[in-house]
């Protein structure tokens, strides 16, 4: 199917929801509920205790904010220089993240306060993106329910959450998914993987029969090269991730495969999305999502370490995709039921592992 309308130039950074539609949404009970719940979540993130023993990696993040300053940045560029070799280092050394730390530290915040601000901002960016789609309250509900979303990426995986929030803001609100992903890659290196797939989807053109095989091949090739990339840019952490191979089970693979239903249903729903200028971004994101699933299929046999660097992006996209899925026949109805069944099954298992304890424990 050719989607020629998807390639219309969107012009400048236009918003996907018109001002009149935004006002109408905010005037509804669901709009008020969205604002109340989102505000309450941000309030909790800003005021709740963040003990080092309670949240993983908090000591490392405190060290980031404690020791990264302007002198660190000057020393880094003095050591690296400004040649072409700096370009990949901006991603692999996560210079965007360091620039954010330097910026917020310049305002005089303590490391603990800076972390709270960053976490609140990361979730706020996600909420802004969710609010621009068809059913924001559903998206917010799924952001709370999906285990890897609010309770992990939005809580203590701070770099991932901050990068993901920026990527979604640019993709949904500004309809610049590639630019958003490139910026996000400088905050957390692993976003470079979905960025490559997103670029492949964009270059594949508007014909889905061409684009889907292209992103699938790109996902397979990425998985085949993951060992080399990991050794080159992350080899120092092989010991840290050694235990992740056993975690990559058939059950996890089946779960991620079932989440591919989300991208398939979204692609089929694109013709029904009224906001024409939003279609291109959602199509690119859904193709990227499908490519990530293919990446995991190959990684299961080729390089299990690689799964932990990207698999959570698959579930993080569901709160955005679910809002725009249209149920038009019995097949899409059953696929949607399966998708939600798998989401809530994962949530049930995560509840048993205590994933939600920070908020309800």
**pTM here?**
0.89
pLDDT, tens digit, for every residue of 4-60? 444 444 444 555 455 556 667 777 899 999 999 999 999 999 998 887 777 888 888
Q: Is 308 strand, coil or helix? A: helix
Instruction: For residues 293 and 312, give the distance between their C-alpha atoms in angstroms, rounded to a whole number.
Output: 11
The overall average pLDDT reported for the chain is 86
Q: Report d(CA 109, CA 115) in Å as an integer.
A: 9
Instruction: Note the pLDDT of residue 233.
Output: 55
Instruction: Please give the distance of CA 12 from its chain centroid, rounded to a whole number.
Output: 23
pLDDT of residue 215: 96
Between CA 294 and CA 288 the distance in angstroms is 10
Between 227 and 183, the higher pLDDT residue: 183
Both tokens of 69, joined, read 């300053």
- What tokens appear for 337 in the block? 């039921």
């Amino acid at each position: 199917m050719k989607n020629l309308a998807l390639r219309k130039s969107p012009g400048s950074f236009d918003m996907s929801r018109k001002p009149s539609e935004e006002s109408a949404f905010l005037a509804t009970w669901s709009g008020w509920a969205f604002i109340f719940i989102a505000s309450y979540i941000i309030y909790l993130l800003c005021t709740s205790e963040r003990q080092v023993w309670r949240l993983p990696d908090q000591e490392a993040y405190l060290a980031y904010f404690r020791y990264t300053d302007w002198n660190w940045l000057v020393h880094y560029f003095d050591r690296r220089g400004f040649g072409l070799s700096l370009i990949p280092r901006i991603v692999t050394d996560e210079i965007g993240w360091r620039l954010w730390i330097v910026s917020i530290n310049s305002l005089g915040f303590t490391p603990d306060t800076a972390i709270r601000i960053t976490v609140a901002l990361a979730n706020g960016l996600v909420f802004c993106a969710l609010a621009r789609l068809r059913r924001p309250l559903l998206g917010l509900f799924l952001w709370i329910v999906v285990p890897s979303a609010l309770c992990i990426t939005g809580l203590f995986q701070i770099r991932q959450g901050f990068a993901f929030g920026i990527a979604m803001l640019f993709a949904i609100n500004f309809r610049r998914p590639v630019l958003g992903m490139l910026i996000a890659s400088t905050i957390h290196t692993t976003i470079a993987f979905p960025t490559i797939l997103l670029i492949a989807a964009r270059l594949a053109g508007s014909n889905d029969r061409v684009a889907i095989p292209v992103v699938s091949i790109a996902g397979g090739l990425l998985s085949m090269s993951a060992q080399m990339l990991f050794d080159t840019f992350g080899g120092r952490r092989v010991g840290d991730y050694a235990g992740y191979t056993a975690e990559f089970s058939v059950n996890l693979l089946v779960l991620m495969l079932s989440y591919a239903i989300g991208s398939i249903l979204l692609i089929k729903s694109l013709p029904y999305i009224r906001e024409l200028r939003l279609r291109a971004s959602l199509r690119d994101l859904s193709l990227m999502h499908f490519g990530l699933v293919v990446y995991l299929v190959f990684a299961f046999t080729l390089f299990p370490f690689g799964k932990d660097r990207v698999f959570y992006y698959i579930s993080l996209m569901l709160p955005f995709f679910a809002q725009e899925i249209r149920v038009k026949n019995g097949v899409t109805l059953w696929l949607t039921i399966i998708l939600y069944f798998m989401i809530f099954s994962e949530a049930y298992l995560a509840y048993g592992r205590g994933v939600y304890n920070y908020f309800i424990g």
